[in-house]
Structure 1
Amino acid sequence: MREESFYDHLCNDLIPFWNNMKDEEHGGFYGYADDHGVADKNSMKGAILNSRILWFYSASYKLLKNEGLLRMADHAYNFLVNYFFDHRYGGIFWSVNADGSVLDDVKHTYNLAFSVYALSVYYQVSGRKDALNLAYTLYRTIEEKCRDEKGYLEAFNRDFTPVFNDKLSENGVLADRTMNTLLHVLESYTELYRADGFSNVGKSIREILQIFKTKIYNPQRKICEVFFDKEYNSIINLESYGHDIETSWLIDRACDVLRDEKCHEEMLPIINGLAAEAYINGIDPQSHAMYNECENGVISRKKIWWVQAEAVIGFYNAYQKNPNHTEYMYISQQIWDYINKNVIDTVTGEWIEDIEPDNTVKPNQALVHAWKCPYHNGRMCIEMINRLRQTN
């Protein structure tokens, strides 16, 4: 695999596209752009999109050392602090209007976690203590208001009284706990620990890893269960290929940042098991891209943009851990080839969200919306550049 191909895509496609989403009038970034990349300047702005953009520019600056990228991160940071942070009850609002006025004041653990994630990386590149302090404020909010004695809960009103988790429940179920939220709390705490090494954060990471080991991971099927009730009973028979391969490498990353060999050894069966199962059952033999998911034995053969990005990193990580398994390296390359041929929009350079099983594209798919951001594809580029540099 060529480092240059990821570098070119990051620098010549993704960064220029997202530069054009900057809102010079109200701050932050436009919350919606159509399939031609034309922004709706009056669209609402989601905190998940804004925090992921803050992460994207911070992480891109960390790699490329281009001062313009840091200024874009500053722009995203200022909007996050001034409009999304709730100074009365704490936490982060779900969304605001184009001008920054509050639209949806729901608090969600997933949402708070992504702000911790972005702020932690922004602090690493900017050195701004106010960003680190805000990351810790949100960390304490999650630990004090968004969990019980068994783990992390999901959705809350503005004052942190619980509400139904409709924002992160799918497939016809309403979940009290989700693997997805837990995974990104883990990811955010990993970056916070990398930034400052606070022992309480390390303790929280270890607790989350134990929840994955004892409650989330199914060792018989070598998958992560996805949706749960409060007692961690799985409430749907669902295998999410993208989440599983993402979990494999993010658990590995957490163990690396902890620098805890015993923890790493304990989690290795999960890291390797998830990658092996995703490879065996999650790959389309015709296109060599990754399927979406499998519910009750029925495979969704759509190719989802973020799933392909996570597969490139996850399988390459599996190869790095198991160099004798060259099939992981080859499938990582084949998925990247598929992305270049089918997923990257040839006009704008951003990624098309959904590809049909026959590799056709339904029209009018937005290139930017509350969940469509430069996080998965930008992170794939940055991860692969760093990994390939280390091996060359």
Structure 2
Amino acid sequence: MREIKNKDTIKLEKEKLYSSLESELFDILDYWEENSPDVEFGGFLGRRNINNKVIEKSPKGAVLNSRILWTFSAAFRYTRADKHFDLAKRAFTYIKDYFIDTLNGGVYWTVDYKGIPLDKKKQTYAQAFAIYGLSEYYGISKNQEALNLAISIFASVERHCFDKEKLGYLEAFDQTWQEISDLRLSEKDANEKKTMNTHLHILEAYASLYKYWPDKELKNQLERLLAVFNDFIINKESNHLNLFMNENWEFTQHLISYGHDIEAAWLLKEASEVLGDDNWINLFKQKAVEIAKMTLEGLDEDGALIYEKDLDKKHVNREKHWWVQAEAMVGFYNVYQITGDEIYLNAVEKLWEFIDEKILDRKNGEWFWGIDGFGNLMDEDKLGLWKCPYHNTRACLEVLNRINESKKLH
């Protein structure tokens, strides 16, 4: 039988969590301020390994740079620190000068260490993060050029990536937006025309842009995205997300990605709230609870959320990645707010205890990539095309802001 905590106990636990996460937020930002700028070639470095060593002449990715832009823009709202605004401006300037394809629209996938376009493909996922970062930067700077760029990338995505017949967004194109054979974000992904992951980040990008540019077409597409998740991506039987689908929304792999499940749970609700439609809000409050209930099965005894389960191969990937723990904190706190059920607040506290004990790099700063299935550190980058400050910064900011909101309500 679960222990029921009194209000004073819960208040103290929230205050302790708040204090810990606020301290960690500044530690993360300090790491990226001190370790990510490329003082020789401009912008930000392409890669540091697990030991924090710079890997010289590494490519620079649109996703990493857009996530840095989003991170320091969002952080500035909380910290009001000039240095965080300046880093956001640095990221904006670099993206504007080096990642934007001024001829064909959209952003390149990578540039080399000098900023020369390297992989010129148009991955829809990268376009989403560019919109996300640019719109958040506009929110703090009111720089019209940033908003105009976000709108222009939105227009490119709608012109080239949107499936007008079957709805949703296709995965990838060449520099001139022609079809390509390899659509994958990474080698571990299935080569399918539509993925949950890309749709989730288009959703968050469009929701962010809509806050500053309440355009009618953008609103329509946001509503269509919510419908796509409800109709095609959230599995009707399991409440997990279907990950890889063809253009007709048919899927063949039965994979569970616990981190994406719980991340979607709160992002879908947030997007519905941006639209301000009670029907969507009520639906995705309900979906958030249903998805979170299923995600609880992925929590290990140490409080961490495991990575993945392959139902076809009957295999469980017990790795515990940094981003999964970060998104789980937000997703479970979100459902705690909806339901008041302490099981979700307890989950957040245990996740933070795991992160604090196993994921934080006490020597060099930031978070390690994760822990493998045997409890060992994974030998993955500290900073790279995929290792970024966005998940963990956002987790800190989301929980801090949600605790602050609850204080105001009481």
Q: Give yes or no for TM over 0.5.
A: yes
Cα pair 2:63 2:385 within 8 Å, conserved:
yes
- Please state if 1:338 is matched with 2:354: yes
Deviation, 1:67, is 1.0
Deviation, 1:264, is 1.3
Query: Matches of residues 23-38 of structure 1 in structure 2 within 5 Å?
Result: 23-38=38-53
Aligned AA for 2:233?
A: I
Cα pair 2:308 2:318 within 8 Å, conserved:
yes
Q: TM-score, normalised by structure 2?
A: 0.92
- Please state if 1:350 is matched with 2:366: yes
Q: Percent identity between the aligned chains? A: 35
- Please state if 1:367 is matched with 2:378: no
Aligned AA for 1:29?
A: F
Partner of 1:159: 176
Cα pair 1:120 1:131 within 8 Å, conserved:
yes
Of residues 25, 33, 42, the one that matches 1:10 is 25
Unpaired segments ≥5 residues, structure 1? none
Partner of 2:124: 109
Partner of 2:274: 257
Cα pair 1:241 1:291 within 8 Å, conserved:
yes
Partner of 1:78: 93
Partner of 2:320: 303
Unpaired segments ≥5 residues, structure 2? 1-13
Q: What is the count of residue pairs matched by the alignment?
A: 387
Cα pair 1:45 1:370 within 8 Å, conserved:
yes
Distance of 1:96 and 1:357 partners within structure 2: 34
Larger CA deviation: 110-119 vs 294-303: 294-303
Distance of 2:254 and 2:274 partners within structure 1: 32
Distance of 1:84 and 1:258 partners within structure 2: 30
Distance of 2:92 and 2:201 partners within structure 1: 20
Cα pair 1:249 1:317 within 8 Å, conserved:
yes
For the residue of structure 1 that corresponds to 2:118, the secondary structure is strand
- Please state if 1:327 is matched with 2:343: yes
For the residue of structure 2 that corresponds to 1:103, the secondary structure is strand
Encode CA deviations 1:170-229: one digit per residue, 9 max, x unaligned.
556311100000000000000001122222212111000000011111121111100001
Deviation, 1:168, is 2.4
Query: Matches of residues 1-392 of structure 1 in structure 2 within 5 Å?
Result: 1=14, 2-11=17-26, 13-19=27-33, 20-149=35-164, 150=166, 151-168=168-185, 171=188, 173-279=190-296, 281-284=297-300, 286-296=301-311, 297-323=314-340, 325-362=341-378, 364-392=379-407
Cα pair 1:53 1:374 within 8 Å, conserved:
yes
Aligned AA for 2:352?
A: W
Deviation, 1:40, is 2.6
Cα pair 1:169 1:175 within 8 Å, conserved:
no
Aligned AA for 1:334?
A: K
For the residue of structure 1 that corresponds to 2:388, the secondary structure is coil
Larger CA deviation: 119-128 vs 165-174: 165-174
| RMSD (Å) for aligned C-alpha atoms | 1.3
Cα pair 2:171 2:183 within 8 Å, conserved:
no
Deviation, 1:275, is 0.8
For the residue of structure 2 that corresponds to 1:224, the secondary structure is coil
Encode CA deviations 1:116-145: one digit per residue, 9 max, x unaligned.
000000000001011001000001110111
Deviation, 1:164, is 2.8
Aligned AA for 1:14?
A: I
Distance of 1:388 and 1:182 partners within structure 2: 29
Distance of 1:336 and 1:356 partners within structure 2: 18
Partner of 2:4: none
Deviation, 1:166, is 4.1
Distance of 1:101 and 1:132 partners within structure 2: 24
Cα pair 1:342 1:359 within 8 Å, conserved:
no
Cα pair 2:299 2:305 within 8 Å, conserved:
yes
Distance of 2:194 and 2:150 partners within structure 1: 23
For the residue of structure 2 that corresponds to 1:321, the secondary structure is helix
Cα pair 1:218 1:225 within 8 Å, conserved:
yes
Encode CA deviations 1:339-370: one digit per residue, 9 max, x unaligned.
000011111221111202232214x4320110
Deviation, 1:15, is 1.1
Distance of 2:48 and 2:97 partners within structure 1: 23
Distance of 1:60 and 1:204 partners within structure 2: 28
Larger CA deviation: 98-107 vs 30-39: 30-39
Q: TM-score, normalised by structure 1?
A: 0.96
